[in-house]
Chain A
Amino acid sequence: MFESKAGIILIAGLFMFALAFVVMGLLPWLIYLDKPEQTMEDLVAGGVTAEFVDLAERFPAQFKEHFPDGVTRGSYASALERGRDIYVAEGCWHCHSQQVRPVSNEDLRFGPVSHAREYHNVLQRPVLFGTRRVGPDLIREAARRSNDWHVAHFFDPVLVSPTSVMPTYPWLYDDEDYPNRDGMSLIAYVQWLGSWLPEYPYFQGEGPMGPTERSGDEVALARESEGS
């Protein structure tokens, strides 16, 4: 059996592949099956982020041109979808991960550790975990930086961060260097990442209830526990 051609095709080719597929692929799918995937409507049901409104406030003429409906759930949904498409097309996900691991002090650097439920939505299909961090993780990026920072940064990252190795994206801007529809969408998408958490927008505990300063003690404490 094991030495016949049919045996190789069936056992090695099909059966063992199927076994691995069931164990490593279908099983996680089954585990999360009872958790419904959030649709685009679910994602914008609560409203829009303050950062999206801020875009409309900063660039009223351009915003009106790119999102004729103004600040609506529909505009926000289209911006998120378009922003995600650009994030994929430009290969952002090759250099920026979207997961905070519970190790290596990543929670101190980025914010709360990622949970599976955060990824059950249409904008994480396929999931954008990422495998390399040339730049920092982005899953806790919402409201961490302001829209004008992002406008300058996407135009040419070296402008705001002289050591940045991120490419420039001038095609996300119109002739007068205002972000175009794609640029605004990408900013809206990046400003959305992590905004579903209760910690948002104070991922580092810097909010009204958190400590005012990130004391050196906390960092030292983390280093001690990590060292063991």
Chain B
Amino acid sequence: MTKTGMHSVPAFDVVVVGGGHAGCEAALAAARMGCSTLLLTLNLGKIALMPCNPAVGGIGKGQLTREIDALGGEQGKNADSSFIQMKMLNTGKGPAVQALRAQTDKKIYEDNMKHALIAEPLLQVLEGVTTEIIVSRETIVGVKLKDGSFIPAKAVILACGTFLRGKIVIGDRFFPAGRMGEAPARELSLSLIKAGLKLSRFQSATPPRVDARSLHTDKMQIEPGDQNPATFSPSSKPNRQAQLPCYLTYTTEKTHEVVRSHLHLSPIKTGSISGAGPRYCPSIDRKVINFPDRNRHPVFVEPEGQRTKEVYLQGLTTSLPVWVQEKIVRATPGLEDARLMRPGYAVEYDYVIPSQLKLSLETKIIAGLFLAGQINGTSGYEEAAAQGLIAGINAVLSVRGEAPFTLKRSQAYIGVLIDDLVTKEVDEPYRIFTSRAEYRLLLRHDNAHARLASFGNSLGLVSDSAFFRISDEQRRLDNLISNLSKTKVQPGASVDRLLTGLGTATLPESCSAEQLLKRPEARLKDLLPVLDKPITEDDGILNRAEIEIKYSGYISRQLDDINRRSSMEETPIPANMSFEHLRGITNEAREKLARIRPSNLGQASRIAGVSPADISVLCLYLRSDR
């Protein structure tokens, strides 16, 4: 018993509340870095559940998953061993936007994550309802469960997903739930508010699931996986098992007419739901309203697992009444006889306004309290997992009394994600896109491990052998690029034939392979036979060399830009600086700076409402202050 009279469980270094995608990454990272860790969850049967799309990765998200793997997180490896379809997206576009997407078997994904948890000797799990965070002198001391148990902790990570005062809304019906069929967390929000955190409401929706046996797949376009599936993690063995196909169909005017004629029943219209929904993951109702000129919208029909008949309808997210959902589905080609297995629904939930967090994901007002995942206003398993990993790392560093680990926008999509969250205010669930990353040409799928594995290794999350393999690859890449600049291609008839065949001009005089490769039509694999000196390398390294060479001009321009801005990024703003007495800045800037408390000038410049003129004033003030 503690002095306060609460029954106490033995203390842990790190306590993670929530067993979803953020919670699992956080708990694994903390345990792997050597801290005694406890994962608390409402239901041990729902670890790493995917309540929505049965997929990991995609445009932007795939980059996050790669980076999570590069830093030693679990999501990428899990997707590699649980996928039922793997596809590299945007192969027709530039490498800056190419991303890997895995359609996963949900149950295998869940089981894999559970096995990963149990494999960590320092990680313990407990099923229970967390009702309060316990704070003493602006520092977290632990959490309290519904049954009165107190769990002392040096750091706490909240990763509660959509469970905080969750409310499910379908049409005009609503009821409390964290997810369909699961009770919500009612008390924890009140504890957060009492501790001084500001909450708001968001909503997220999911489409109906239909029975695979009731589909007319002959009326749909088949979408197979890649012939040679790639992996998120270089340490994953290539999985050659048969992939399940997905199907593609499109809504028609008939479908849209059904939606339009029942729009008055949509919770958005009736007001049953008040939280803002994700703009970039809109429901079919929203799509029909916002894009009246589009006569069709794609619907991807995706199996949820090898052993289940449930199929996910990507593109038909809705929270209209169930009988309307049945009509909408049946008005879509291929789905005329589709039998619903689960209705689509929307869930409205509390989130913590993320500008209250530091870049380390620690709250500004309570030391040792970290937040990760949907609780911060994001949407997506990858966004959640990335935050969970960073929060887990920083929880350990804070326990050790070391400086936090943060990533810059120029280093990783994870850096972009967290900087956006804490600096810009989210007015709808945040989802990562390639367009959010101004340095996306540098932050690619192919170079994620080269960029980040060293951090993973020094943090203790990436083994020396794995890191060695990655560094070795980098060395081979550098050698290859240097060789290509020295190796020449001699002009000749066969060379000209090859070049004309590729659709490019003939070669008037000898030039380096690097030079020739800069032509957009030239592919390195095609040029190998005509090189002066023979070169053999793995496909992966050839690919990376080709990207680096082709885009070297753009890449160096982005690097210059980063260098120019680095002085701003590295100009710190004191944590306790008062903006009250700063003359010459607008009131809006003053208010925003005081609220968000940017840690450097670069971050300050990204705050909405802070103009370049305000930055100049701030800059002068900081310089004179030194």
Q: Do A and B bind each other?
A: no
Instruction: Please list the residues of chain A having a beta carbon within 8 angstroms of any beta carbon in chain B.
Output: none
B interface list, Cβ under 8 A from A: none
